[in-house]
Protein backbone atom coordinates (compact mmCIF):
# COMPACT_ATOMS: atom_id res chain seq x y z
CA UNK A 1 0.00 0.00 0.00
CA UNK A 2 1.26 3.46 -0.92
CA UNK A 3 1.56 5.84 2.03
CA UNK A 4 1.02 9.54 1.34
CA UNK A 5 2.05 11.92 4.14
CA UNK A 6 1.21 15.59 4.35
CA UNK A 7 0.87 18.25 7.03
CA UNK A 8 -0.40 21.80 7.39
CA UNK A 9 -3.32 23.94 8.45
CA UNK A 10 -6.93 23.13 7.70
CA UNK A 11 -9.52 25.87 8.22
CA UNK A 12 -13.26 26.10 8.48
CA UNK A 13 -14.24 28.08 5.41
CA UNK A 14 -17.33 30.30 5.36
CA UNK A 15 -18.16 30.17 1.65
CA UNK A 16 -20.57 32.89 0.52
CA UNK A 17 -23.77 31.70 -1.16
CA UNK A 18 -24.01 34.96 -3.12
CA UNK A 19 -21.93 37.08 -5.47
CA UNK A 20 -20.34 40.15 -3.93
CA UNK A 21 -18.09 41.36 -1.11
CA UNK A 22 -18.42 40.38 2.52
CA UNK A 23 -21.85 40.88 4.06
CA UNK A 24 -22.21 39.64 7.66
CA UNK A 25 -25.98 39.25 7.23
CA UNK A 26 -25.82 37.25 3.99
CA UNK A 27 -25.89 33.43 3.82
CA UNK A 28 -22.71 31.34 3.99
CA UNK A 29 -22.06 27.61 3.81
CA UNK A 30 -19.37 26.21 6.08
CA UNK A 31 -16.80 23.88 4.50
CA UNK A 32 -13.61 22.25 5.71
CA UNK A 33 -10.73 23.67 3.66
CA UNK A 34 -6.98 23.16 3.68
CA UNK A 35 -4.63 22.66 0.75
CA UNK A 36 -2.81 19.68 2.26
CA UNK A 37 -5.84 17.85 3.64
CA UNK A 38 -7.67 18.62 0.38
CA UNK A 39 -5.00 16.78 -1.60
CA UNK A 40 -5.11 13.84 0.83
CA UNK A 41 -8.92 13.62 0.55
CA UNK A 42 -8.90 14.03 -3.23
CA UNK A 43 -6.17 11.43 -3.68
CA UNK A 44 -8.12 8.88 -1.67
CA UNK A 45 -11.23 9.67 -3.70
CA UNK A 46 -9.31 8.69 -6.83
CA UNK A 47 -7.34 5.80 -5.29
CA UNK A 48 -9.15 4.46 -2.21
CA UNK A 49 -6.33 2.00 -1.56
CA UNK A 50 -3.91 4.84 -0.74
CA UNK A 51 -3.00 5.37 2.92
CA UNK A 52 -3.31 9.14 3.28
CA UNK A 53 -1.99 10.65 6.52
CA UNK A 54 -2.56 14.31 7.45
CA UNK A 55 -0.76 15.81 10.46
CA UNK A 56 -1.75 19.09 12.12
CA UNK A 57 -2.99 20.73 15.31
CA UNK A 58 -6.51 22.02 16.01
CA UNK A 59 -8.09 24.24 18.58
CA UNK A 60 -10.39 22.76 21.19
CA UNK A 61 -13.41 24.50 19.67
CA UNK A 62 -16.41 23.84 17.45
CA UNK A 63 -14.37 24.51 14.30
CA UNK A 64 -11.84 21.88 15.33
CA UNK A 65 -14.72 19.51 16.08
CA UNK A 66 -16.13 20.08 12.60
CA UNK A 67 -12.80 19.35 10.91
CA UNK A 68 -12.34 16.09 12.83
CA UNK A 69 -15.93 15.07 12.18
CA UNK A 70 -15.53 15.51 8.42
CA UNK A 71 -12.00 14.15 7.96
CA UNK A 72 -11.48 11.28 10.38
CA UNK A 73 -13.64 8.81 8.47
CA UNK A 74 -11.96 9.61 5.15
CA UNK A 75 -8.22 9.92 5.82
CA UNK A 76 -5.80 9.10 8.64
CA UNK A 77 -5.94 12.22 10.82
CA UNK A 78 -3.17 12.96 13.33
CA UNK A 79 -4.34 16.36 14.59
CA UNK A 80 -4.88 16.71 18.34
CA UNK A 81 -7.17 19.42 19.69
CA UNK A 82 -5.19 21.66 22.00
CA UNK A 83 -6.85 23.44 24.91
CA UNK A 84 -6.54 27.22 24.96
CA UNK A 85 -5.80 27.42 21.21
CA UNK A 86 -8.10 28.11 18.26
CA UNK A 87 -8.76 26.67 14.83
CA UNK A 88 -8.27 29.01 11.87
CA UNK A 89 -11.17 30.21 9.74
CA UNK A 90 -11.50 31.73 6.27
CA UNK A 91 -14.24 33.96 4.89
CA UNK A 92 -14.58 33.42 1.15
CA UNK A 93 -16.51 35.73 -1.15
CA UNK A 94 -17.09 35.40 -4.89
CA UNK A 95 -16.84 38.52 -7.04
CA UNK A 96 -17.82 36.90 -10.34
CA UNK A 97 -15.77 35.53 -13.22
CA UNK A 98 -13.88 33.19 -10.92
CA UNK A 99 -12.45 36.03 -8.81
CA UNK A 100 -12.54 35.38 -5.07
CA UNK A 101 -11.86 37.48 -1.99
CA UNK A 102 -10.46 35.94 1.20
CA UNK A 103 -10.30 37.12 4.79
CA UNK A 104 -8.57 35.01 7.45
CA UNK A 105 -8.46 34.51 11.17
CA UNK A 106 -5.45 32.23 11.37
CA UNK A 107 -2.52 34.20 12.87
CA UNK A 108 -1.46 32.37 16.03
CA UNK A 109 -3.77 29.42 15.35
CA UNK A 110 -3.10 25.96 16.75
CA UNK A 111 -1.76 24.81 13.38
CA UNK A 112 0.71 27.70 13.22
CA UNK A 113 2.48 26.09 16.20
CA UNK A 114 3.04 22.72 14.49
CA UNK A 115 6.56 21.37 15.14
CA UNK A 116 8.71 18.85 13.32
CA UNK A 117 8.58 16.61 16.40
CA UNK A 118 4.88 16.12 15.72
CA UNK A 119 5.41 15.22 12.06
CA UNK A 120 8.66 13.24 11.88
CA UNK A 121 7.36 10.02 13.53
CA UNK A 122 4.98 9.61 10.57
CA UNK A 123 7.79 9.53 8.00
CA UNK A 124 8.31 5.83 8.61
CA UNK A 125 6.93 3.83 5.70
CA UNK A 126 5.98 6.93 3.69
CA UNK A 127 6.27 6.79 -0.09
CA UNK A 128 5.79 10.53 -0.61
CA UNK A 129 5.77 13.63 1.58
CA UNK A 130 3.67 16.49 0.22
CA UNK A 131 4.09 20.10 1.36
CA UNK A 132 2.89 23.50 0.19
CA UNK A 133 4.18 27.04 0.36
CA UNK A 134 1.28 27.94 2.63
CA UNK A 135 2.66 26.16 5.69
CA UNK A 136 6.04 27.95 5.98
CA UNK A 137 4.23 31.26 5.55
CA UNK A 138 2.13 30.71 8.69
CA UNK A 139 4.90 31.23 11.26
CA UNK A 140 8.62 30.89 11.91
CA UNK A 141 7.83 27.64 13.70
CA UNK A 142 6.05 26.23 10.64
CA UNK A 143 8.85 27.33 8.33
CA UNK A 144 11.36 25.46 10.46
CA UNK A 145 9.05 22.45 10.59
CA UNK A 146 8.74 22.30 6.80
CA UNK A 147 12.50 22.45 6.28
CA UNK A 148 13.26 19.88 8.96
CA UNK A 149 10.70 17.41 7.62
CA UNK A 150 11.76 17.88 4.01
CA UNK A 151 15.43 17.43 4.95
CA UNK A 152 14.64 14.27 6.91
CA UNK A 153 12.63 12.86 4.02
CA UNK A 154 15.50 13.45 1.59
CA UNK A 155 17.93 11.89 4.06
CA UNK A 156 15.75 8.77 4.22
CA UNK A 157 15.27 8.58 0.44
CA UNK A 158 11.59 9.56 0.55
CA UNK A 159 10.43 11.68 -2.40
CA UNK A 160 8.98 15.11 -1.62
CA UNK A 161 6.42 17.00 -3.66
CA UNK A 162 6.05 20.77 -3.32
CA UNK A 163 3.11 22.88 -4.46
CA UNK A 164 4.02 26.58 -4.18
CA UNK A 165 0.40 27.64 -3.60
CA UNK A 166 1.31 31.34 -3.15
CA UNK A 167 -0.86 33.43 -0.81
CA UNK A 168 -0.21 37.16 -0.96
CA UNK A 169 -2.15 37.63 2.28
CA UNK A 170 0.47 35.58 4.14
CA UNK A 171 3.81 36.96 2.91
CA UNK A 172 5.59 39.17 0.39
CA UNK A 173 6.91 37.95 -2.94
CA UNK A 174 10.48 38.40 -1.68
CA UNK A 175 9.81 36.20 1.36
CA UNK A 176 8.06 33.64 -0.82
CA UNK A 177 10.92 33.48 -3.32
CA UNK A 178 13.53 32.95 -0.60
CA UNK A 179 11.60 30.14 1.08
CA UNK A 180 10.33 28.49 -2.10
CA UNK A 181 13.85 28.39 -3.54
CA UNK A 182 14.96 26.69 -0.35
CA UNK A 183 12.08 24.21 -0.60
CA UNK A 184 12.84 23.56 -4.28
CA UNK A 185 16.36 22.42 -3.43
CA UNK A 186 14.80 19.61 -1.37
CA UNK A 187 11.86 18.82 -3.65
CA UNK A 188 11.68 15.81 -5.93
CA UNK A 189 8.56 17.18 -7.64
CA UNK A 190 8.11 20.95 -7.85
CA UNK A 191 4.78 22.39 -8.98
CA UNK A 192 3.82 26.03 -9.49
CA UNK A 193 1.29 27.98 -11.54
CA UNK A 194 2.67 30.17 -14.32
CA UNK A 195 0.93 33.18 -12.76
CA UNK A 196 2.51 32.39 -9.39
CA UNK A 197 5.94 31.97 -10.96
CA UNK A 198 5.66 35.37 -12.61
CA UNK A 199 4.45 36.97 -9.38
CA UNK A 200 7.25 35.51 -7.26
CA UNK A 201 10.24 35.20 -9.62
CA UNK A 202 9.19 37.55 -12.42
CA UNK A 203 11.50 36.02 -15.04
CA UNK A 204 9.07 36.57 -17.95
CA UNK A 205 9.41 32.99 -19.07
CA UNK A 206 6.96 30.67 -20.79
CA UNK A 207 5.60 27.67 -18.92
CA UNK A 208 8.08 25.39 -20.70
CA UNK A 209 10.96 27.71 -19.85
CA UNK A 210 9.97 27.78 -16.18
CA UNK A 211 9.64 23.99 -16.19
CA UNK A 212 13.22 23.70 -17.42
CA UNK A 213 14.46 26.49 -15.14
CA UNK A 214 13.14 24.86 -11.96
CA UNK A 215 14.51 21.42 -12.89
CA UNK A 216 17.84 20.30 -11.45
CA UNK A 217 19.61 19.01 -8.37
CA UNK A 218 17.17 17.05 -6.24
CA UNK A 219 14.24 18.26 -8.38
CA UNK A 220 13.57 15.55 -10.95
CA UNK A 221 10.10 16.54 -12.11
CA UNK A 222 8.54 19.98 -12.59
CA UNK A 223 4.93 20.92 -13.31
CA UNK A 224 3.78 24.35 -14.46
CA UNK A 225 0.04 24.92 -14.66
CA UNK A 226 -1.18 27.54 -17.11
CA UNK A 227 -4.79 28.31 -16.23
CA UNK A 228 -6.94 28.28 -19.34
CA UNK A 229 -4.36 26.34 -21.36
CA UNK A 230 -3.73 23.36 -19.10
CA UNK A 231 -0.29 22.42 -17.85
CA UNK A 232 3.20 21.27 -18.83
CA UNK A 233 5.63 18.95 -17.07
CA UNK A 234 9.36 18.32 -17.57
CA UNK A 235 11.34 15.27 -16.47
CA UNK A 236 14.81 16.35 -17.60
CA UNK A 237 14.45 14.90 -21.08
CA UNK A 238 11.05 15.86 -22.43
CA UNK A 239 8.33 18.45 -22.01
CA UNK A 240 4.82 16.99 -21.91
CA UNK A 241 1.78 19.25 -22.27
CA UNK A 242 -1.99 18.94 -21.93
CA UNK A 243 -4.35 21.73 -22.98
CA UNK A 244 -6.96 21.24 -20.25
CA UNK A 245 -10.76 21.16 -20.40
CA UNK A 246 -13.48 23.81 -20.65
CA UNK A 247 -16.43 23.67 -18.26
CA UNK A 248 -19.08 26.05 -16.98
CA UNK A 249 -17.29 27.50 -13.96
CA UNK A 250 -19.21 27.80 -10.70
CA UNK A 251 -16.43 27.96 -8.10
CA UNK A 252 -12.66 27.62 -8.73
CA UNK A 253 -11.84 27.00 -5.06
CA UNK A 254 -10.18 23.61 -4.59
CA UNK A 255 -9.35 23.15 -8.28
CA UNK A 256 -5.60 23.43 -7.76
CA UNK A 257 -5.57 20.83 -5.00
CA UNK A 258 -7.67 18.53 -7.19
CA UNK A 259 -5.11 19.00 -9.98
CA UNK A 260 -2.26 17.95 -7.66
CA UNK A 261 -4.17 14.90 -6.45
CA UNK A 262 -5.02 13.93 -10.02
CA UNK A 263 -1.43 14.28 -11.18
CA UNK A 264 -0.11 12.16 -8.29
CA UNK A 265 -2.85 9.59 -8.83
CA UNK A 266 -1.86 9.33 -12.48
CA UNK A 267 1.58 8.22 -11.34
CA UNK A 268 0.60 6.20 -8.26
CA UNK A 269 -1.89 4.03 -10.16
CA UNK A 270 1.13 2.72 -12.07
CA UNK A 271 4.02 2.92 -9.57
CA UNK A 272 5.70 4.98 -6.88
CA UNK A 273 7.46 8.22 -7.72
CA UNK A 274 10.93 6.72 -7.15
CA UNK A 275 10.20 3.84 -9.51
CA UNK A 276 8.68 6.24 -12.04
CA UNK A 277 11.84 8.35 -12.14
CA UNK A 278 13.93 5.25 -12.87
CA UNK A 279 11.91 4.36 -15.98
CA UNK A 280 13.06 5.04 -19.52
CA UNK A 281 11.85 8.22 -21.21
CA UNK A 282 9.13 6.54 -23.30
CA UNK A 283 7.56 4.88 -20.27
CA UNK A 284 7.69 8.15 -18.32
CA UNK A 285 6.14 10.06 -21.21
CA UNK A 286 3.15 7.72 -21.39
CA UNK A 287 2.51 8.07 -17.66
CA UNK A 288 2.96 11.84 -17.70
CA UNK A 289 0.51 12.29 -20.58
CA UNK A 290 -2.09 10.36 -18.62
CA UNK A 291 -1.28 12.07 -15.30
CA UNK A 292 -1.78 15.53 -16.83
CA UNK A 293 -5.06 14.43 -18.42
CA UNK A 294 -6.37 13.15 -15.07
CA UNK A 295 -5.11 16.25 -13.25
CA UNK A 296 -6.75 18.70 -15.65
CA UNK A 297 -9.99 16.72 -15.60
CA UNK A 298 -10.08 16.80 -11.80
CA UNK A 299 -9.34 20.52 -11.70
CA UNK A 300 -12.07 21.24 -14.23
CA UNK A 301 -14.73 19.09 -12.58
CA UNK A 302 -14.14 20.63 -9.16
CA UNK A 303 -14.94 24.02 -10.71
CA UNK A 304 -18.48 22.93 -11.51
CA UNK A 305 -19.75 23.00 -7.90
CA UNK A 306 -19.12 24.84 -4.64
CA UNK A 307 -16.75 23.36 -2.06
CA UNK A 308 -13.08 22.43 -1.87
CA UNK A 309 -13.41 18.64 -2.02
CA UNK A 310 -17.15 17.99 -2.28
CA UNK A 311 -17.14 18.08 -6.13
CA UNK A 312 -14.03 15.88 -6.45
CA UNK A 313 -14.66 13.03 -8.91
CA UNK A 314 -13.62 9.42 -8.46
CA UNK A 315 -11.53 7.72 -11.14
CA UNK A 316 -14.56 6.29 -12.92
CA UNK A 317 -16.05 9.76 -13.26
CA UNK A 318 -12.73 11.06 -14.55
CA UNK A 319 -12.65 8.33 -17.19
CA UNK A 320 -16.17 9.24 -18.35
CA UNK A 321 -15.32 12.94 -18.49
CA UNK A 322 -12.11 12.62 -20.50
CA UNK A 323 -13.89 10.35 -22.97
CA UNK A 324 -16.84 12.71 -23.37
CA UNK A 325 -15.80 16.14 -22.00
CA UNK A 326 -18.79 18.22 -20.94
CA UNK A 327 -17.56 21.37 -22.67
CA UNK A 328 -19.65 24.33 -21.51
CA UNK A 329 -20.19 27.83 -22.71
CA UNK A 330 -18.65 29.38 -19.63
CA UNK A 331 -15.01 30.26 -18.97
CA UNK A 332 -12.34 27.61 -18.65
CA UNK A 333 -11.76 26.65 -15.05
CA UNK A 334 -8.36 27.96 -13.88
CA UNK A 335 -7.09 24.58 -12.69
CA UNK A 336 -3.61 26.08 -12.64
CA UNK A 337 -4.50 28.37 -9.79
CA UNK A 338 -4.28 27.04 -6.26
CA UNK A 339 -7.13 27.75 -3.87
CA UNK A 340 -7.70 26.45 -0.35
Tell me the pTM: 0.92
Yes or no: say if 10 and 112 are a contact pair by the CB < 8 Å rule: no
pLDDT higher than 90, residue 329: no
Mean pLDDT of the chain: 92
In the three-class reduction of DSSP (H, G, I as helix; E, B as strand; rest coil), residue 127 is classed as: coil
Yes or no: say if 294 and 233 are a contact pair by the CB < 8 Å rule: no
What are the residues facing 237 on neighbouring strands? Answer: none
pLDDT tens-digit profile of 27-58? 998 889 899 999 999 999 999 999 999 999 99
| Cα separations in angstroms, 299 against 268, 283, 318 | 18, 25, 10
Q: Say what percent of the chain tops pLDDT 90.
A: 76
Residue 51 lies in a domain: yes
Yes or no: say if 204 and 173 are a contact pair by the CB < 8 Å rule: no
Q: Say what percent of the chain tops pLDDT 70.
A: 93
Residue 229 lies in a domain: yes
Spatial CA neighbour of 3 closest among 54, 63, 64: 54
Residue 82 lies in a domain: yes
pLDDT tens-digit profile of 216-227? 999 999 999 998
Q: Which domain holds residue 13?
A: 3-323
In the three-class reduction of DSSP (H, G, I as helix; E, B as strand; rest coil), residue 31 is classed as: strand
Residue 338 lies in a domain: no
Question: How far is residue 212's CA from residue 164's CA, in Å, rounded to a whole number?
Answer: 16
Yes or no: say if 162 and 176 are a contact pair by the CB < 8 Å rule: no
Residue 303 lies in a domain: yes
Instruction: Identify the band that residue 108 occupies on the pLDDT scale cut at 50, 70 and 90.
Output: very high
Question: How far is residue 110's CA from residue 136's CA, in Å, rounded to a whole number?
Answer: 14
CATH of the domain at 30: 3.40.1190.20
Yes or no: say if 10 and 72 are a contact pair by the CB < 8 Å rule: no
In the three-class reduction of DSSP (H, G, I as helix; E, B as strand; rest coil), residue 52 is classed as: strand
Number of domains comprising the chain: 1
Question: How far is residue 157's CA from residue 123's CA, in Å, rounded to a whole number?
Answer: 11
Residue 334 lies in a domain: no
pLDDT higher than 80, residue 336: no
Yes or no: say if 331 and 228 are a contact pair by the CB < 8 Å rule: yes
Would you state the pLDDT for residue 241? 97
Question: How far is residue 164's CA from residue 104's CA, in Å, rounded to a whole number?
Answer: 19
pLDDT tens-digit profile of 21-34? 888 889 998 889 89
What are the residues facing 160 on neighbouring strands? Answer: 129
Question: How far is residue 280's CA from residue 10's CA, in Å, rounded to a whole number?
Answer: 38
Question: How far is residue 300's CA from residue 294's CA, in Å, rounded to a whole number?
Answer: 10
> Who has greater pLDDT, 93 or 111?
111
Residue 117 lies in a domain: yes
Residue 329 lies in a domain: no
| Cα separations in angstroms, 72 against 41, 60, 111, 284 | 10, 16, 17, 35
Instruction: Identify the band that residue 59 occupies on the pLDDT scale cut at 50, 70 and 90.
Output: very high
pLDDT tens-digit profile of 242-261? 998 877 776 666 789 999 99
Amino acid sequence: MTKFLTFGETLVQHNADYIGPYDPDAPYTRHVAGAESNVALDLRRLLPEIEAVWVSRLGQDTDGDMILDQLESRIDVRAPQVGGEFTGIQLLNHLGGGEVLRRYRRAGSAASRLTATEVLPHLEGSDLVHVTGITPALSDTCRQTVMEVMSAAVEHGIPVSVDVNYRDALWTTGEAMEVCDEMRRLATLFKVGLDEAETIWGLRMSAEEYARHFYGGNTRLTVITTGDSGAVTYDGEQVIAHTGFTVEMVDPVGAGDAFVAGFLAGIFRRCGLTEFLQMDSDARAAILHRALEIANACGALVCTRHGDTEPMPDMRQVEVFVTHPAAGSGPTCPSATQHD
